[in-house]
Chains A and B, each alone.
Chain A
Amino acid sequence: MKELSLHILDIAKNATQAGASLVEITVDEDILKNRLTISIKDNGRGMSKELLQKVKDPFTTTRTTRSVGLGIPFFEMAAELCGGKLSIDSVEGKGTNITAWFEYDHIDRQPLGDMPSTIMAAVTGSPEVDFIYRHVICGKEFLLDTREIKKVLKGVPINNVEVATWLFEYVSEGLNMLRR
């Protein structure tokens, strides 16, 4: 994977697979402190202590189609390549929080990439799950809460292509405002 937003999509998918009803994605670009922090938090089934111990091992997976799981190892490698770290907090029955931080200006840091596409894919891929997406750039914040959006949609599915396109454009414009 060549951009961090793809890792975010991958980990967010894990969160929905874990039966979460709410997934919180936070991206914090703190350029002054030279730090990029990404966290994906869910209220899914969480991991047992045993699973938590071996979850960073590529030969650990919950999928049944094959016995390799590379999502977390890829994300961890991306963080460690640029002086950062990945940590996982998980409580069985409560949920999981995966946080990775990166040195913002490290030459090996992958670009954040296309966040609007990631958010659109995550939200429309699991229409029954709610998402909160918070993106902070030097203290300025963009916030998307799908519970608010679903209130407006009143029954029209959030994965309708018109709605998906609106979501993409809404996030794009919101992030552009932050970068201005």
Chain B
Amino acid sequence: MKSLQELEAIRNKTLNEIHMRNDRTEGIRIVVGMATCGIAAGARQVLNALVDEVKKRNLSQVTVAQTGCIGMCRLEPIVEVYMPGEEKVTYVKMSPEKVARVISEHIVNKKAIKEFTVGSAEQQDKEERE
């Protein structure tokens, strides 16, 4: 049974990790679009998968956050990755399966997955129209 005591243990463990980490190193932020469009397209499952993967791999420098409508509703669920010192990468039409790849290839191995990005989706649309 989950209890508040267990929560306290999580708190102590997390505080230790925060202290151990060099506070000058800026963390990675992963942001999920969670407006009506995102939620209807499956953003909640994507968020669940992100939390699971980050926890499983113990990536304590990663924050999972949420935002509202990013403005490209037809490409939801959308996930943005902010790495310190790098340009933002926007992933579109995300799914729990794609999340696993983004975490291992981009967050852990620092190589963005081009085929999942908004740029690639727009290129594809353009080709289909032609």
Contacts and interface: CB of A to CB of B under 8 A. Distances in A.
Classify chain A: how many residues form its interface, as a range.
35 or more
Contacts, number: 103
Given A121-B66, A159-B64, A163-B7, A65 B36 contact: no
A125 B66 contact: yes
Given A152-B4, A170-B2, A13 B11 contact: no
A9 B44 contact: yes
A156 B11 contact: yes
Secondary structure at the A interface, as helix, strand, loop or mixed, is helix
A96 interface: no
B interface: dominant SS: helix
B35 interface: yes
Interface residues of B, number: 35
Interface stretch (A28-36, A44-52, A69-77): A69-77
B68 A17 contact: yes
Nearest to A169: B2
Contacts of A168: 48, 51
Interface of A: 1, 6, 9-10, 13, 17, 63, 65-66, 69-71, 74, 114, 117-118, 120-121, 124-126, 148-149, 152-156, 159-166, 168-170, 173
Interface of B: 1-2, 4, 6-8, 10-11, 13-15, 18, 34-36, 39-40, 44-45, 47-48, 51-52, 54-55, 62-66, 68-71, 73
